[in-house]
Structure 1
Amino acid sequence: MKTERIGHSDVRFRRQGEGELAAVFVHGFLDDQYVWDDMISSLTTSGVERVTLDLAGCGDRTEASGPFAYERFAAEVGSVVDAVGKRFVVVGQSLGAAVAELVAAERPERAAGLVLVNPVPLAGTQLPDEVIERFRSLGGDPAAQRAVRMQLSPAWPAAELDRLVVGGARMRPEAVRDFADCWNTGHPAGGRPSRFEGPTLVVRGGDDGFVTEELVGEHVLPRFGSVRSVPVSGAGHWVHIEQPARVAGHIDDFLAGVPFSGRTTPSGTVPAQAWTNAFAAKSPGAFGEAFAADVVLEASVLTRPVEGRDQVERVMGAASAIYESLAFTEEVVNGRRTYLEWGATAFGGMRLEGVTILTKDGEGRIARAAIHHRPLDAVKRFSAELRERLRGVVDAEHFHQG
């Protein structure tokens, strides 16, 4: 492990491991860079360098002067990403998730992926004055900080809770107020679809009463073109501290779908993330890495299966281009099968929902994919559109004629 500094500034960052891909971790409100340590130590993907830093006003930078705002945080994290100088995945928690999105959106040519852990919406939480004041007034009050942390996360490791309460109490009250106003007010970009168009993973503690399933479903997921959301039971707002190994497992799965050499992942992993990442790319070749040579595709929009990697790639590439948005909201793994629940829009906002079942072969590639769409009217329209887009490429008899 080594520590480097950005020029003559007070921005320092830690680098662990080596690889052609960097995973950059951005902490949240009242925290510091060390909140990621247990989770990082549980990652198993090789060929990935781990990078952490303190945001201004936090951790070892409590003496930093303001402003404490998204623009400043994104600029500093961006300077670290640029200094590392390689393709990267950026991981952010809570307020740090919004910072992570801004950093990735500014560097689309090098940003390989985005992971949002219990993300506050980039547009802000917009809490009323009497509620946000509770958070604004936490500076210098360790007892109140402890109470808030325990309320929002049910399974704190005692030692880490004590450490973070001490560290959070060191933050200057004016910095705490600015941080709270930052994540409550939000950023103007949050009112629009995200400018980051690559693969995105959302990890949320199932018992988080602050960043709820409804908040994520209404104000986070719809902003991304290809996003997968996974809940972690038995954890709240600080899910990466409460369940570090499980969060690491989801990030390892996400990294499995990011193309880079020198990577190894645990054997037997279903390449679900490679599948979801391919939807972000919207091209036939993007699905190739996930498929076995003799893959079979079944779907509600097909009258009969499509067989073979080349043909299935063509169908999936055309299908992914029809979707205007696509969010993978749930995932269950049972042996060689992965079940993905999703929601999407197409044809000017028409809503589609469904479940995809991926079955892997002995080498971990997808040997069979079954995609169940609904409602019926959308199925018919989607099938007709596929037939037109694949005319002369895939036999029209594979599609509904009505």
Structure 2
Amino acid sequence: MKIQSNGVSLNVRVKGDGELTLVFLHYWGGSSRTWHHVTGILAGRFQTVAVDQRGWGESAAGSGDFSVETLADDVQGIIDTLALKRYLIVGHSMGGKIAQLLASRRPVGLAGVVLVAPGSPGPSIFPLEQRKMMAHAYDTRESITATVAQVLAGKTLSDADLAQVVEDSLRGAPEAKVAWPMATMMEDIRSSVAHISVPVLVVAGEWDKVDPVELLSSHVLPHLPGANQTVLPRTGHLSPLESPVELSALIDRFAHHCGG
């Protein structure tokens, strides 16, 4: 379904039913479809809401503002429009940085946050030259498949999932592709995330080359009061596609801990 939020048309995929809703935010280059294995597993117990963030999937790019604040406002508008009473936010990579800022605002109804290989609340440690290269990682089918094989995935993706990743990455708005590595990932929201007051679970991939376990331990966990970290064995950065059963089990267990 399409929802007007914060001045832009955003595509949202809703499945399942339950007293607790899980709101899913994808990585830079992905879409709501990134979560299709996970939502397929969890929709039997929860309502799931997977968002195409602005400039990705079937969502409009809007005015070209891709700041963390704007992206968080987009998601809050979706939550308000759907009148969600009680929910968890599950954010992956870029979506994890958005989830952190949204949670720091202590919105009504938020029961907890799952951060899957999340972007750091502080500025990225990637040097400028590396970030310039990242800005072109999704230019062509060949560059995307190389990025998946060499950087993003620890396991070999199925043909269908790889085709989906390529399609989602190609489809992204040019300004959205550039915004994350060149601007949004450099934003500093550390003072804000200190205000998060709900339980937080950080999920790392053992083989993640983008946000490795050590980086999350040193640059994310210290800024999140009371957060716990767990590691998915033999998994790279794309855990929703690489290890969806294991990730779903972690989310389910955490939701139960939060009263879901």
TM value normalised by structure 1: 0.60
- Report deviation, 1:113: 0.1
CA distance in 1, matches of 2:191, 2:66: 21
CA distance in 2, matches of 1:172, 1:158: 24
Judge conservation of contact 1:115–1:201 (CA < 8 Å) in 2: yes
- 1:222-255 deviations in Å (ceiling 9; x for gaps): 1122212111111100011100000000001101
Judge conservation of contact 1:207–1:236 (CA < 8 Å) in 2: yes
Give the aligned residue type for 1:216: L
Give the aligned residue type for 1:184: M
* Greater alpha carbon shift after TM alignment, 56-65 vs 140-149: 56-65
CA distance in 2, matches of 1:157, 1:125: 30
Equivalent residue number for residue 220 of structure 2 = 220
Q: Which has the higher strand share?
A: 1
Q: How many corresponding residue pairs?
A: 256
- Report deviation, 1:130: 1.3
CA distance in 2, matches of 1:225, 1:61: 33
* Percent sequence identity over aligned pairs: 27
Equivalent residue number for residue 348 of structure 1 = none
Equivalent residue number for residue 116 of structure 2 = 117
- 1:321-373 deviations in Å (ceiling 9; x for gaps): xxxxxxxxxxxxxxxxxxxxxxxxxxxxxxxxxxxxxxxxxxxxxxxxxxxxx
Cα gap change, 1:177 to 1:16, in 2 (>3 Å):
same
Equivalent residue number for residue 179 of structure 1 = 180
* Greater alpha carbon shift after TM alignment, 58-67 vs 215-224: 58-67
Larger Rg, first or second structure (1 or 2): 1
CA distance in 2, matches of 1:39, 1:18: 15
Give the aligned residue type for 1:109: V
Equivalent residue number for residue 305 of structure 1 = none
Equivalent residue number for residue 249 of structure 1 = 249
Judge conservation of contact 2:55–2:172 (CA < 8 Å) in 1: yes
- Report deviation, 1:142: 2.3
- 1:275-294 → structure 2 map (5 Å cutoff): none
Instruction: Determine if the alignment matches structure 1 residue 36 to structure 2 residue 30.
Output: no
- Report deviation, 1:150: 1.5
Give the aligned residue type for 1:100: A
Q: In the alignment, which of 55, 58, 61 is matched to residue 57 of structure 1?
A: 55
- Report deviation, 1:184: 3.0
- Report deviation, 1:25: 0.2
Equivalent residue number for residue 259 of structure 1 = 259
Judge conservation of contact 1:206–1:235 (CA < 8 Å) in 2: yes
Equivalent residue number for residue 66 of structure 1 = 64
SS at match of 2:145: helix
Instruction: Tell me which of the two structures has the higher relative contact order, counting C-alpha pairs closer than 8 angstroms and 6 or more residues apart.
Output: 2
Instruction: Determine if the alignment matches structure 1 residue 79 to structure 2 residue 77.
Output: yes
- Report deviation, 1:132: 0.8
Equivalent residue number for residue 229 of structure 2 = 229
Give the aligned residue type for 1:59: G
- 1:117-196 → structure 2 map (5 Å cutoff): 117-152=116-151, 153-155=153-155, 156-186=157-187, 188-191=188-191, 194-196=194-196
Equivalent residue number for residue 17 of structure 1 = 16
- Report deviation, 1:117: 0.2
SS at match of 2:119: coil
Structure 2 unaligned segments of length 5 or more: list them: none
Cα gap change, 1:22 to 1:192, in 2 (>3 Å):
closer
Cα gap change, 1:222 to 1:141, in 2 (>3 Å):
same
Judge conservation of contact 1:25–1:92 (CA < 8 Å) in 2: yes
CA distance in 2, matches of 1:139, 1:63: 16
SS at match of 1:11: strand
- Report deviation, 1:17: 1.6
- Report deviation, 1:83: 1.8
Cα gap change, 1:147 to 1:115, in 2 (>3 Å):
same
TM value normalised by structure 2: 0.91
SS at match of 2:58: helix
CA distance in 2, matches of 1:33, 1:82: 19
Judge conservation of contact 1:97–1:120 (CA < 8 Å) in 2: yes
Equivalent residue number for residue 103 of structure 1 = 102
SS at match of 1:39: helix
- 1:261-294 deviations in Å (ceiling 9; x for gaps): xxxxxxxxxxxxxxxxxxxxxxxxxxxxxxxxxx
- Report deviation, 1:123: 1.2
- 1:196-225 deviations in Å (ceiling 9; x for gaps): 121011111110012011111111111122
Judge conservation of contact 2:137–2:147 (CA < 8 Å) in 1: no
Judge conservation of contact 2:25–2:92 (CA < 8 Å) in 1: yes
SS at match of 2:258: coil
CA distance in 2, matches of 1:68, 1:228: 29
SS at match of 2:246: helix
- Report deviation, 1:159: 1.5
